[in-house]
A and B are shown apart, each in its own frame.
Chain A
Amino acid sequence: MSTPTSFLELRDLRIHFPTDDGLVKSVDGLSYKLERGKTLGIVGESGSGKSVTSLGILGLHKGTRAKISGEIWLDGEELVSASAEHVRRLRGKKMAMIFQDPLSAMHPFYTVGQQIVEAYRIHHKVSKKVARKHAIDMLGRVGIPQPERRVDSYPHEFSGGMRQRAMIAMALSCDPELLIADEPTTALDVTVQAQILDLMRDLQRDFNAALIIITHDLGVVAELSDDILVMYGGKCIEYGTAEDIFERPEHPYTWGLLGSMPRLDREPTERLMPIKGNPPSLINVPAGCAFHPRCAFEGRTGGKADTEVPALLESSGGHLVRCHMPPELRRDIWENEIKPNLESS
């Protein structure tokens, strides 16, 4: 167990939940690194293990039935083996989280100000007055008009976009070094989504935090991410820079995600190309490659698809892919069969 040099590093993280029906392997051997000031986008369908991973980093599975193994290194400290109390003290201060639906994620009985003040005062021994001043400052920074008046409003008195801004203000109130945003724009109107994404980009630059954006929306990660990690069935199936993923994706699942993304530059007559089938069961994960029952290229893997779990291998500088097809074949399929379909026709 050597101390890594990266700000955040996950090593072979596994989060399993024992249930009456069997062991749910929500996260199954996930590794990645993230530096300060950088943004990692984690993409995948519902149940691919995106959110479970981030709750795991925050230590929110401690004290539950979840079985966690592997290592989570944050700024030179290992968190999986750390005490629940120690991780609690880091939570909110060193690492913070923005949740999907700000209406249900904020307590309905307390004002927005009270909730920010509470978050700030756990980690800073200051008077309520000072904390309130700080809350007003934060609300102003995230672009809420008349913050000195809105600080006393309840969450239900805010619009959806304003609520998400308040949620961001709360998460940033202790100046965290790691910020995890779990579907930060999913519950918002499209026009508001763009504003929130802009805001997050600006704030990340100001705070120089490491940012993880979890989403099923490739458009969102395209907007913000330096690196992108595609998850499927609790595993990373493709990892690379945003350019790698959007310009030269190599995994059939990533191709499917790109194909099911609505785009303005496509002809109206053209149909989306959805991925057939449903996300895999996390209890009875398909044998071999978890994606093979849905994969259109299963026949080109040389018969290994349903027998052997593919390894996550480097295809070119830092671009990792978990697929049985040889890299040359994948690039060939992308260039000649997928890309032309996505771009025009």
Chain B
Amino acid sequence: MVTYIIRRLIGALLMLVIVSMVTFSIFFVVPRMAGATSEDFANRYLGKAATAEMAAVAAEKLGFNDPVPVQYGRWIKGVFAGAEYDTGASVEQCPAPCFGYSFVKRQPVWPELIDRIPVTLSLAIGASVIWLLGGVATGVLSALKRGSFFDRAAMSVALAGVSLPIFFTGIVSLVVFSYGMGITAPGGAYTPFEENPAEWAYNLLLPWITLAFLYAASYARLTRAGMLETMGEDYIRTARAKGLPESTVITKHGLRAALTPIVTIFGLDLGLLLGGAVLTETTFSLKGIGDYAVQAIMTNDLPKIMGVTMVAALFVVMASLIVDLLYAVVDPRVRLG
């Protein structure tokens, strides 16, 4: 078990290194292939009034003329030790962890990103609880009553759920529940949990449900398929032969085994969402990481885009690490491998 954990940790670290290299390449190597010069890079940091000479100086000072591995090393160093951006015209401080410095906004990327994490975290965690409970419960009932009216109805709704995009269900539910009936918040507001939990939940309720609907649908289908398969296993027959009540057979023996693949998907889905629920945040005007990414792309703010990419990657890698560890807890056979 200990070697298993160590192996997974090393794997996760390696994955992060690879992701950072790929991300770095996309932003600093690929543009050069398309013909961008060091001065073009430096220009982004200088503003529209900069002359060619100023750009040349800045390119040299910012290190855009150095070999690519050196630039990559400097960028990584910034993450751990902080960095200084000297354009020749001014010197900007970027304390650790420095994921880049936005010259559009004249501030380091990290603090602003950190500010937005609670919003995305609240959205993702709340929604995931709803879709996990709702999806799994629906899937189990559907499997046990296969072919019944409930099964058909639930699976039709699930099909709608996976097919309809957030910006459709989100806007429809805003129109109906917020503006029509006035029972949910109109969107755009966020109250930190520690300030007022009731208001926090009230503001997030509709985004939670909208986002959860999308995921619950696929979880219901997944759970149904898994339950149908496990309930046909020999060990279910054994459990019945022992004289266990049917409810115990279903939960302790059937669901336990059917949940394993769900745990895997759940971890990855949650990790992805933590990197920004772009559509949901945009639809409901929530200032989360997804919204941050959208703003960064709209303003062509490269350091921000890179920073948000790295943070999103970090969440996914962490989530898959946790999934791997959970997997070993859930399924004892995994511990051997």
User: Which residues does A use to contact B, with CB under 8 Å?
Assistant: 55, 58, 60, 63, 88-93, 96-97, 99, 101, 104-109, 111, 118-119, 122-123, 154, 156, 170
Contacts of A60 in B (CB 8 A): 237, 240-241
A105, B242: Cβ atoms closer than 8 Å: no
Q: Specify which chain A residues have a CB less than 8 angstroms from the CB of B67 in the assembled complex.
A: none
With a cutoff of 8 Å between Cβ atoms, the chain A residues found around residue B237 in the complex are 55, 60, 99, 105
**Nearest CB of chain A from residue B254's CB, rounded to whole Å:** 10
- Besides the contacts A88-B243, A96-B242, A108-B235, what 18 more A-B pairs have beta carbons closer than 8 Å? A58-B241, A89-B243, A90-B243, A91-B241, A92-B243, A105-B234, A105-B235, A106-B235, A107-B239, A108-B331, A108-B333, A109-B331, A111-B332, A122-B242, A122-B243, A123-B243, A154-B333, A156-B333
Is A109's CB under 8 angstroms from B330's CB?
Answer: yes
Picked from A90, A91, A92, A101, the residue with its CB within 8 Å of the CB of B234 is A101
Q: Is B233's CB within 8 Å of the partner chain A? A: yes
Q: Find chain A residues with CB under 8 A from B336 CB.
A: 156
List the A side residues contacting B253 at CB < 8 Å.
107
The CA of A89 and the CA of B243, in the complex, are separated in Å by: 6
Instruction: Assess whether A170 is in contact with B233, with CB atoms less than 8 Å apart.
Output: no
Q: Is the CB of A119 within 8 A of B242?
A: yes
A96 to B242 Cα, complex, angstroms = 7
The contact sample of 9 A-B pairs, CB cut-off 8 A, is: A60-B237, A90-B243, A91-B240, A91-B243, A101-B234, A104-B234, A109-B256, A118-B244, A122-B242
A109 to B241, Cβ gap below 8 A? Answer: no
Q: Which residues of B contact A123 (CB under 8 A)?
A: 243
Interface size on B, residues (CB 8 A): 21
Could you say which of A88, A93, A104, A111 contacts B235, with CB atoms under 8 Å apart? Answer: A104
Query: Which residues in A have their C-beta under 8 angstroms from that of B234?
Result: 99, 101, 104-105
In the complex, residue of chain B having the shortest beta-carbon distance to the beta carbon of A120: B242
Contact B332 A109 (CB under 8 A): yes
C-alpha spacing A9/B336, complex, angstroms: 47
Are B242 and A91 in touch, CB under 8 angstroms? yes
Interface string of B308-337 (1 = CB under 8 A from A): 000000000000000000000011110010
Residues on the A chain within 8 Å of B244, using CB:
92, 118, 122
Q: Is B163 an interface residue (CB 8 A)?
A: no
Provide the residues of chain B in CB contact with A99, threshold 8 Å: 234, 237-238, 241
Nearest first, the 5 closest Cβ-Cβ pairs linking A and B are: A92-B243, A91-B243, A104-B234, A92-B242, A119-B242
Contacts of B73 in A (CB 8 A): none
Set of chain B residues within 8 Å of A170, measured between Cβ atoms = 242
Which residues of B lie under 8 Å from residue A119 when comparing CB positions?
Answer: 242-243
Q: Decide: B333 and A118 in contact? CB cutoff 8 A.
A: no
0/1 string, B239-253, CB within 8 A of A gives 1: 111111110000001
> CB distance A93 to B243 under 8 Å?
yes
Chain B contact residues: over half helix, strand or loop, or mixed? helix
| B254 nearest CB neighbor, chain A only | A107
**Chain B nearest CB, measured from A114 CB (Å):** 10
**Quick one: which of B235, B243, B330 has the most chain A CB within 10 A?**
B243
Which B residues lie within 8 Å of A55 (CB)? 237
B201 within 8 A of A: no
- At the interface, yes or no: B257 with Cβ under 8 Å from chain A? yes
Closest A residue to B259 using CB positions:
A109
What are the residues of chain B within 8 A of A88 when measuring CB–CB?
243, 245
Separation of A118 and B248 alpha carbons in the complex (Å): 11
How distant is B21 from chain A, measured CB to nearest CB, in Å?
A: 39
The smallest C-beta distance from B249 to any residue of chain A, in angstroms, reads 10
Contact for B238 among A63, A90, A105, CB less than 8 A? A105
Complex CA–CA separation, A104 to B234 (angstroms): 6
In whole angstroms, what is the CA distance A78 to B234 when docked?
27
CA distance A170 to B244 in the complex (A): 13
Question: How far does the alpha carbon of A99 sit from the alpha carbon of B241 in the complex, in Å?
Answer: 10
**Interchain CA distance A308-B208 in the complex, whole Å:** 70
Tell me, in angstroms, the Cα distance from A198 to B234 when the chains sit together.
Answer: 25
Inter-chain contact B257/A97, CB cutoff 8 Å? no
A261 to B241, CA, bound (A): 32
* Interfacial chain A residues near B257, Cβ < 8 Å: 107-109
Closest to A58 in B: B241
Residue of B nearest to A90 (CB): B243
User: In the complex, which residues of chain B have a beta carbon less than 8 angstroms from the beta carbon of A90?
Assistant: 243
In whole angstroms, how far apart are the Cα atoms of A239 and B246 in the complex?
A: 36
User: Nearest Cβ in chain B — how far from A274, in angstroms?
Assistant: 29
Residues of A within 8 A of B240 (CB): 60, 91
Known: A99-B238, A109-B257, A156-B333. A104 touches B243 (CB 8 A): no
Residues of chain A within 8 A of B332, CB atoms compared: 108-109, 111, 154, 156
Interface string of B253-289 (1 = CB under 8 A from A): 1001100000000000000000000000000000000
Residues of A within 8 A of B242 (CB): 91-92, 96, 118-119, 122, 170
